[in-house]
Structure 1
C-alpha cells in the first residue's frame, strides 16, 4: 500500500456534538491517518456526505474557465463558444453527476448559477439584463441542473434494467411486488429500500410524500 496516496475518512452526522476521536485506522498493519476530506475517482468527499467540497471544486474550476472564455467571447463565434463551454465547463459538471442526486437546494443553486453564467456568455447578455435565463436555456436546449441529474440517473437505471449493465447495479434494482392486488402492480415500479439513518439513507433514496414513490416520479431509483 502506498503511504503517500492512502486516505481514510470517518463518515459522521453533522448533528453529532462530540467529534470522533479516531485519528487513524489500521489497514493491513499499516496506520493511515484520517482526514475530514478525501478525494477518490475525481470526487471530493467530506465527513458529512453533503458534497460541499465537491460542489466548491466544480464551481471554482467552472468560473475560472468561464472568465477566460468571456474575455475572448467577442472574437469567437457562438458555435466555438458552445464547444469551449461544453469541453471545459459542462463536462466538469456532468462527470459523475448522478452522485449529486438528493443534494440540498443550497448546493444545487451554486451549480445552477454556473449554468446560467455559461448561458449568458453564449448569448452575450449581462447579468443585469431582463431577458429570462430560463428562456435562454430552452433556446440552447440545456436541461436545468436538477433535471439533468434526474435524466442521467434514469438513463443509468434504464440500462441496468434492460441491458444488464452495469452489473453491480442490476442486483440492487428490485421490482415492486405488492402483497395485494393494486392498480400500480403493472407499472413496473421498483422497491424503495427502507433506511434507518435519515440523513445518509435519504441521500441515496429520496422519498416523495405526494406520490408515495421515489422523487423521480417514475419506477426508478438506485444508490450510487
Structure 2
C-alpha cells in the first residue's frame, strides 16, 4: 500500500492552481496572494496528512517542492531562491514536519476525548509493571508490537512513538490551543 496515486493527484491539482495564481500574481498584493495560496494550495497539501506518515521520501520530496514553489510565488522570487527563509517568513512547516504535527495533534485530541472513537480505542497509556518509577507520571503511551514495516506506519503504532518523543510539558497541556 502506497500513497503514490494520492500524491500524483495532489500534484496535478496543486500545479493547476499554482499556474493560475502565478498568472495573476503581479496584480494582487502579498497578503492577498498569501491567503489565496493558503486556501487553494495548502488545503490540498494538508488533506489526509496523517495518512502520509511513513510514505516514501520521494513522495514527500515532490510535495515539498510544491510547497516551496507556492512560497516563491507569494514573494515573487525566482526558482533558484532558497525556500527555507521564505517558509520561515510565512510560518509554514515543511511537509514532513507538518505530517508529524498533524499526527501529534490528532493524538492529543484522541487522548482528551475530542478525536474519533475508532482512533481513541487504539491508544492506551503505558503503565509500568513496578510502581514508583519515574515513567509513571509522564503520560507515556504504550507502543504496540508490529510485524511489518507497514505496521510501524499505522496510527496505532506511529502515534505513541511520536507522542513519547515530545517533552512532558507538551503531553500535559490542558487545551488544544496550548498544545498547538
Matched ranges for 1:89-104 at <5 A: 89-104=41-56
Aligned position for 1:75: 27
Tell me which protein shows more strand as a share of its residues: 1
In the TM superposition, residue 125 of structure 1 has moved relative to its aligned partner by 0.5
Q: 1:174 to 1:154 in 2, by over 3 A?
A: same
Distance 2:143 2:72 in 1: 39
Aligned position for 1:121: 73
Give the unaligned 5+ runs of structure 1.
Answer: 1-48, 208-212
Aligned position for 1:176: 126
Aligned position for 1:19: none
Q: Are 1:202 and 2:149 counterparts? A: no
Q: Could you list the per-position Cα deviations for residues 145-190 of structure 1 after superposition, in whole angstroms to 9, with x for gaps in the alignment?
A: 1111111111211111113432222211100112235322221111
Tell me which protein shows more helix as a share of its residues: 2
Aligned position for 1:154: 104
Report the RMSD for the aligned CA atoms in angstroms: 2.0
Aligned position for 2:86: 136
Give the unaligned 5+ runs of structure 2.
Answer: 172-180
Structure number with larger C-alpha Rg = 1
**TM-score normalized with structure 2 length:** 0.83
Number of residues of Structure 1 aligned to a counterpart in Structure 2:
164
Q: 1:215 to 1:161 in 2, by over 3 A?
A: closer
In the TM superposition, residue 123 of structure 1 has moved relative to its aligned partner by 0.5
**TM-score normalized with structure 1 length:** 0.68
C-alpha contact (below 8 Å) 1:164/1:170 kept by paired residues: no
